[in-house]
Amino acid sequence: MSTITQILIVAALVLSIFVPFSAFLIGERNKGRLKTSLAINAFLFFGIFAVAGIVSLGNGASALAAEAASESSAGLATGLGYLAAALVTGLSCIGGGIAVASAASAALGAISEDQSILGKSLIFVGLAEGCCLYGLIISFMILGAL
């Protein structure tokens, strides 16, 4: 994909985000106008994203075939390593999200009754977020070993 095409796609994506919301902010703010601007934003963004994907696949297919023909296959171990890194990151983030949801809701309830326990509750929420970071570190270790 040429540099000009890449610049145009990035500019179109940025404009697809800012134009609907700037049009919403100019006029009277109500729920119907917000829903319309969100629908236009989603349609433009994902439409441009789909077009960019099609253009990049069309241009990159020949380069990908040439690269695959020139290099020997990386093997099953490399593919499973990438899969393991993705699974570690994804599953740890899902677990961390569940933990943060429980800890944060309990912390907000406790803080609403007694504001002096804010620091303690933030520590528990931070510990729950640590699960995600550990998964990310392990995925970096897996990718480093490939």
**What is this structure's pTM?**
0.47
List, run by run, the mean pLDDT of 10-residue segments along the chain (146 residues): 74 76 73 78 80 70 56 69 89 90 87 86 86 89 87
What's the burial of 40, exposed, middle or buried (CB within 10 Å: 0-12/13-18/19+)?
middle
Reported as a single tens digit per residue, the pLDDT across 72-96 is 556 777 888 888 899 999 999 998 8
Give the CATH superfamily of 76-145. F1F0 ATP synthase subunit C (1.20.20.10)
Mean pLDDT, the chain, rounded, equals 79
